[in-house]
Amino acid sequence: MSPYFTDLAQQYIDGEWRPGTGSWDIIDFNPYDGEKLASITIATVDEVDQAYRAASRAQKEWAATNAYARRAVFEKALRIIEDREQEIAEAIIAELGGTHLKAGFELHLAKEFLRESINLVLRPEGRIIPSPVEGKENRLYRVPVGVVGVISPFNFPFLLSMKSVAPALALGNGVVLKPHQNTPIVGGSLVAKIFEEAGLPGGLLNVVITDIAEIGDAFLEHPLAKVISFTGSDKVGRHVGTVCASHFKRSVLELGGNSALVVLDDADIDYAVDAAVFSRFVHQGQVCMAANRVLVDRSIAEEFTRKFVAKVGSLKTGDPNDPETVIGPVINSSQADAITSAVDQAIAEGATALVHGTTRDTLVEPSVLTDLPADAAILRQEVFGPVALLVPFDGEEEAVRIVNDTPYGLSGAVHTADVERGVNFAKQIDTGMFHVNDGTVHDEPQVAFGGEKSSGVGRLNGDATVESFTTQKWISVQHGRSRFPF
């Protein structure tokens, strides 16, 4: 077992590693074999308060630190990850059941986001704005918001914690991170350990491992938290956004999806099959951008379906430690039961199972469903597991209607021999991101990432991250004397 699960099974508050003082423990399990990885006594409301206060105290000096000196911390953090890549990959495999492929994918993106954070340190710029008042100089400064609260999910915990934590710190903020209970080490204390070793001042980044059963909304409501960055389900995200709004604080909500990959009649079928299989089954389908629905023009549906089913049938389900495994375990048995129930309900409603995988504890084999009734519940919900829905359509107009017939609007893709045809198709989809001749699962540090409708509010990455984690401050200078009317 990785030493991370023994050495880092603690809270990290005000630069100190210490146990929580709650009355019960979070037990961290390996989702594949059920091995107990760690036992962590939860943080209380008082410890959440201590974490926010520590971040606020440390932030003021950090924001005043020369940007080039701050940048050195992120450069060292990147080197630490590069040096320990194999160890971190093993922890990802153990704690969340990620395959070798998935662990490599997550680490690659995490490093890319750290590289972007190195640049973000120097990104904020002020402006001088003309004034109609004689002798008036208007200075518009971009300044840190103060303290950012980050809540990360279980599916890509290392990446999605780093994606908010690193930029928030780079832009001069303090941070309090609450990782998901199923991934407290990879998504929480490991991130803190890396930054501690990289020389980040104590107190600036805090990690509280806890549960809402213990702290309620204290993490969201704390008066020192100026922005909450949440990644997770739309149900929880709706609550996060409501609480934040009631306390006049900003929230950045990266929520679920029900993305579609669309194959038009002139597409390269073999390439589209490869893109669709990856987009649906990467990390067992536990990806917000995953292609839940695969829409295929009816004129090519027979060939596409045959090849798609054959490729899905070749995917190996099993031990994520096996380099040949493509489908590892889902995060827990409750998730496995929910996926199985969704498939069973769809079949009861009239769907045909071209592939009907079995479920063994947390191992859920792939399923491929077609002939779905137009009103089937599964067509409009996010299935966080290895289930693909094949939907034929007649012409682009019908395809657009079907793609948009969902409460979500996160990602999507279209395949066609005519790039501009694909771009015109993408423009008609109510979604935050859409890709032509590629998969649905993409995240690049410099390009705005986020969704529409129930898929979230706000954007991250690049300039969007600067907008999310900083605010603008107007300072005017009157040269000479103003004239007042009385």
All structural domains of the chain with their residue ranges: 4-255+455-474, 259-436
Instruction: Give the homologous superfamily in CATH for domain 259-436.
Output: Aldehyde Dehydrogenase; Chain A, domain 2 (3.40.309.10)
Q: pLDDT of 23-39, one tens digit each? A: 999 999 999 999 999 99
Q: How do residues 341-351 score in pLDDT, each as one tens digit?
A: 999 999 999 99
Amino acid at 320: P
For residue 339, which of 312, 311, 315, 359 has the smallest C-alpha distance?
Answer: 359
Active site residue 254: yes
Phi-psi region of 65 (alpha: psi -120 to 50; beta: other; left: phi over 0): beta
What pLDDT sits at residue 2? 86
Per residue in 452-463, pLDDT (tens digit) is 999 999 999 999
How far is residue 144 from each of residues 177, 341, 367, 468, 476, measured CA to CA in Å?
17, 46, 47, 10, 19
Residue from 460, 467, 461 nearest 142 by CA = 467
CATH homologous superfamily for the domain 4-255+455-474: Aldehyde Dehydrogenase; Chain A, domain 1 (3.40.605.10)
Cα→Cα distances 66→59, 71, 118, 172, 402, Å? 13, 9, 13, 10, 52
| Whether residue 1 has pLDDT greater than 90 | no
Distance CA 162, CA 443 (A): 13
Q: Could you report the per-residue pLDDT of 241-292, keeping only the tens digit for each? A: 999 999 999 999 999 999 999 999 999 999 999 999 999 999 999 999 999 9
pTM over 0.95: yes
How many Å apart are CA 427 and CA 180, to the nearest integer? 35
Q: Within the chain, what is the greatest distance between any pair of CA atoms?
A: 84
Instruction: Identify the H or E element spanning 344.
Output: helix 333-348
Residue 88 has pLDDT above 80, yes or no: yes
Element housing 387 (H / E):
strand 387-393
**Residues of the chain with pLDDT > 90: what percent?**
98
Q: Record the tokens describing residue 231, joined without a space.
A: 């990644």
pLDDT by residue (tens digit) across 201-233?
A: 999 999 999 999 999 999 999 999 999 999 999
Q: Which of 112, 116, 214, 288 is catalytic?
A: 288
* Average pLDDT over every residue of 139-167: 98
Which pLDDT value is given to residue 414? 98
Mean pLDDT for the stretch of residues 130-134: 95
* Active-site annotation holder among 254, 324, 398, 444: 254
Burial 230-264 (b: 16+ CB within 10 A, else e): bbbbbebbeebbebbeeeebbbbbbbbbbbbbbbb
117 close to 166: Cβ distance less than 8 angstroms: yes
